Structure 1
Amino acid sequence: MTHAASTSLIDVPALQALLNSPTPPLVIDVRFDLANTDQGEALHAVGHIPGAFYLHLDRDLSGPRQVGDTFFGRHPLPEREAFANQMRRLGLQAGQQVVAYDAADGMYAARLWWMLRWLGHEAVAVLDGGFAAWQAAGGSVSREMPTARPGSFAAGTPLEQPWSKQELLAGLGRVRLIDARAGERFRGEVEPLDRQAGHIPGASHRFFKTNLDASGRFRPAAELKAEFEQVLGAFPAAQTVHQCGSGVTACHNLLAMHHAGLTGSRLYPGSWSEWSADPRLPLARG
Structure 2
Amino acid sequence: MTDAASPRQTSLIDAPTLRTLLAAQPAPLVIDVRFDLSNTDLGESQHAAGHIPGAHYLHLDRDLSGPRQQGDQFFGRHPLPDRDRFAALMRRLGLQPGQQVVAYDAADGMYAARLWWMLRWLGHDAVAVLDGGFAAWQAAGGAISTQAPTIPQPGTFEAGSALEQPWSKQDLLAQLGRVRLVDARAGERFRGEVEPLDRQAGHIPGASHRFFKTNLGADGRFRPAAELKAEFEQLLGEFSASDTVHQCGSGVTACHNLLAMHHAGLPGSRLYPGSWSEWSADPRMPLARG
Q: Name the TM tier (shorter chain).
A: over 0.9
In the alignment of these two chains, the number of paired residues is 285
Match of 2:281 in 1: 277
The answer to whether residue 207 in structure 2 is matched with residue 203 in structure 1 is yes
Q: Percent identity?
A: 82
Cross-structure match for 2:245? 241
Mapping of residues 206-245 of structure 1, within 5 Å:
206-245=210-249
Written as runs of structure 1 = structure 2, the 5 A alignment for 1:140-155 is 140-149=143-152, 150-155=154-159
1:119 aligns with 2:122: yes
Does residue 160 of structure 2 align to residue 156 of structure 1?
A: yes
Structure 1 residues 43 and 3, CA gap change in structure 2 (3 angstroms): farther
Question: CA–CA distance in 1 between the matches of 2:261 and 2:45?
Answer: 32
TM-score, L = length of structure 1: 0.99
Question: Equivalences for 1:1-286 in 2 at 5 Å?
Answer: 4-149=7-152, 150-286=154-290
- Paired residue secondary structure (1:120): coil
2:107, 2:136 within 8 Å by CA — same for their partners in 1? no
Give the TM-score normalised by the residue count of structure 2. Answer: 0.97
What CA distance in whole angstroms lies between the structure 2 residues aligned with 1:61 and 1:140?
Answer: 26
C-alpha distance in 2 between matches for 1:209 and 1:148: 35
Asked if structure 1 preserves the Cα contact closer than 8 Å seen for 2:179 and 2:245, the reply is yes
**Matched residue type, 1:51:** G
Distance apart, 1:3 and its partner CA: 6.4
> Aligned equivalents of 2:226 and 2:284: distance in 1?
41
Alignment partners' CA distance in 2, 1:122 and 1:3? 12
Deviations 1:104-124 (A, max 9, x none): 410000000000000000000
Structure 1 Cα separation of the partners of residues 99 and 25 of structure 2: 12
The structure 1 segments of at least 4 consecutive aligned residues displaced by more than 4 Å after TM superposition are none
Unpaired runs of 5+ in structure 1? none
Counterpart amino acid of 1:247? G
1:216-264 CA distances to partner (integer Å, 9 max, x unpaired)? 1000000000000011000000000000000000000000000000010
Are 2:105 and 2:133, in contact at CA under 8 Å, matched by a contact in 1?
yes
Shift of 1:151: 0.5
Give, as a single letter, the amino acid of the residue that structure 2 aligns with 1:19: L
Q: CA deviation at 1:148?
A: 2.1
Runs of 5+ consecutive residues of structure 2 not aligned to the other structure = none
How far off its partner does 1:273 sit? 0.1
